[in-house]
Amino acid sequence: MENRDHIDHTLNHLFRQESGKMVSVLIKIFGIENIELAEDVVQDALVKALETWKFRGMPDNPRAWLYRTAKNKAIDIIRHNKHSRVIDFSDPEKQLLTSGYTLTTTMDNYWQEQHIKDDFLGMMYACCHPDISQENQITFILKALCGFSTKEVARSFLSNEDTISKRLYRTKEYFRKHKIRPVIPTSDEINPRTKTVLNAIYLMFNEGYNSTHADQLIRKDLISQAMLLCKSLLSEKRTQLPEVYALMGLMCFHASRIDSRLTKEGRLILLSEQDRTTWDAELIQSGEQYLNKAAFGDELSTYHLEAAIAYQHCCAKQYADTNWEMILEYYELLLKIANDPIVFLNRCLVILELRGPKEALIALENVKNNKLLEKYYLYHATLGEIYQRLEDNRTAATYYQKAMQLTQSKQERQFLKDKIARILK
């Protein structure tokens, strides 16, 4: 008899990997106005798999089994709705779904590997339509393309199911109203549209990477799903852009270090104190390969530079070996492309490493009174660090206190608390 856990595990894994593709194909078949119908079919296929496999054991090719089940269910739905107005069959290709002479062959065509890939990427671009807010983009991607339940999406955002349902509803309404077609953009608009997609992927990745919540499983899920989405962009010629490779490399470098960032008790470990032997060498190597492939075309994106910085950290055998000069150079370049206060702050931290607290303080003073920075915990934490190095522990503690009030993360708060305790001893 098949092990139940084994079935659950395989199915869960398969579902994360394949449900988005199945939903995308089904949306192509049923139309963007019938997203719920597409999601229901995939959900039904999953339930049927669970029931059937438990009794008869796992099929030789579970993926093919799931796809076949979804396809057959889609044929049933088409037959049922042939004369209703639920599905719009006016497109010549769709019209062929309405006749017994052509239904099966047409349906098989929809499920060819190349079409599955195209439809999935097409949906990614549709979800990341520039008119949809970033929050809603990621919410929808997680639900429709990554097989997350509404509950899991809510957990990812530290939000509640009601809020998530509302966001999903709004996006669906947008699709319906504007009759958005889920296709890969044409070559003249692929660059800007891909930027939006990459932005959503990176935000999703960071949602998992930055330890704002303790749910380890969800965090790892977000990270692997973000990487999977990026990989699927790289599997298609039209979307193999330098920036996509760069982001993939960047995520590999970051992901290689996830297990070294927290203690068993969930406390943050600083980069300087992380056990570098736990870093995933294989991921670092993949990251390098992606970064090498990113070096074509004439565009240097923020992902290129961020990846280059992350790579410098990854290839330093120990903290003392870090090439801070190189990193500072990358930050200067980064500031030129994206005049982002957070990048500026990170640059100040590099200056602190390289030239000491006085220089770092001078650099920081250049951005004083920046409203955005004032609300950012890292700004105060950095000032705390600088004053601590200047041996002004009292001022340092005040800044750490302020930083503590501003972060949502339990781990970060604990980390700052420990620091204050240490310097006020």
Q: Select from 65-73, 93-101, 214-222, 298-306 the region that touches other proteins (CB under 8 A).
A: 93-101
Counting contacts by CB under 8 A, is residue 234 touching other proteins? no
What are the φ/ψ torsions at residue 262 (nearest 5 degrees)?
A: -130, 145
> By C-beta, is 3 or 95 nearer to other proteins?
95
**Structure token pair of residue 131:** 């008119």
Give the C-alpha separation, 251 to 205, whole Å: 8
Counting contacts by CB under 8 A, is residue 98 touching other proteins? yes
CA-based nearest residue to 237, from 201, 184, 198: 184
Can you tell me which of 1, 100, 318, 391 binds other proteins, judged by CB under 8 A?
100
Can you tell me which of 101, 131, 177, 188 binds other proteins, judged by CB under 8 A?
101
Least separation, in Å, of the C-beta of 83 and other proteins?
10
Q: In one letter, which amino acid is 388?
A: Q
Can you tell me which of 3, 95, 160, 235 binds other proteins, judged by CB under 8 A?
95
Can you tell me which of 34, 106, 196, 411 binds other proteins, judged by CB under 8 A?
106
Angstrom CA distances, 77 to 38, 69, 107, 344, stand at 10, 12, 12, 55
155 contact partners, CB below 8 Å, separation of at least 6: 213, 215, 218
Angstrom CA distances, 224 to 204, 258, 401, 416, stand at 10, 12, 34, 29
Counting contacts by CB under 8 A, is residue 3 touching other proteins? no
Q: Select from 13-21, 89-97, 120-128, 174-182 the region that touches other proteins (CB under 8 A).
A: 89-97
Can you tell me which of 105, 186, 318, 369 binds other proteins, judged by CB under 8 A?
105
CA-based nearest residue to 180, from 27, 43, 26: 27
Site string for other proteins, 175-214 (x = CB under 8 A): ----------------------------------------
Please name the residue that has the structure tokens 């500026």: 344
CA torsion sign for 126, 128, 131, 135 is: positive
Counting contacts by CB under 8 A, is residue 72 touching other proteins? no
Total chain residues near other proteins (CB under 8 A): 12
Question: Which ranges constitute the DSSP H helices of 316-374?
Answer: 324-337, 341-355, 357-365, 371-374
> By C-beta, is 94 or 219 nearer to other proteins?
94
**Structure token pair of residue 13:** 């894994």
Report yes or no: 16 and 146 within 8 Å, Cβ to Cβ: yes
Counting contacts by CB under 8 A, is residue 92 touching other proteins? yes
Least separation, in Å, of the C-beta of 59 and other proteins?
21
> By C-beta, is 79 or 358 nearer to other proteins?
79
Report yes or no: 145 and 125 within 8 Å, Cβ to Cβ: no
Counting contacts by CB under 8 A, is residue 78 touching other proteins? no
Counting contacts by CB under 8 A, is residue 104 touching other proteins? yes
Counting contacts by CB under 8 A, is residue 99 touching other proteins? yes
Least separation, in Å, of the C-beta of 95 and other proteins?
5
> By C-beta, is 83 or 425 nearer to other proteins?
83
Report yes or no: 266 and 241 within 8 Å, Cβ to Cβ: no
Q: Select from 99-107, 133-141, 156-164, 327-335 the region that touches other proteins (CB under 8 A).
A: 99-107
Give the C-alpha separation, 172 to 167, whole Å: 9
Give the C-alpha separation, 219 to 204, whole Å: 10
Least separation, in Å, of the C-beta of 113 and other proteins?
18
**Structure token pair of residue 381:** 């934490």
Counting contacts by CB under 8 A, is residue 81 touching other proteins? no
Counting contacts by CB under 8 A, is residue 173 touching other proteins? no
Counting contacts by CB under 8 A, is residue 93 touching other proteins? yes
Question: Which ranges constitute the DSSP H helices of 99-160?
Answer: 103-110, 113-127, 134-140, 150-156
Q: In one letter, which amino acid is 224?
A: S
Counting contacts by CB under 8 A, is residue 272 touching other proteins? no
Can you tell me which of 7, 14, 86, 96 binds other proteins, judged by CB under 8 A?
96
Can you tell me which of 10, 72, 81, 102 binds other proteins, judged by CB under 8 A?
102
Give the C-alpha separation, 352 to 359, whole Å: 7
Report yes or no: 230 and 248 within 8 Å, Cβ to Cβ: yes
Q: Which residues bind other proteins (CB under 8 A)?
A: 92-93, 95-96, 98-102, 104-106
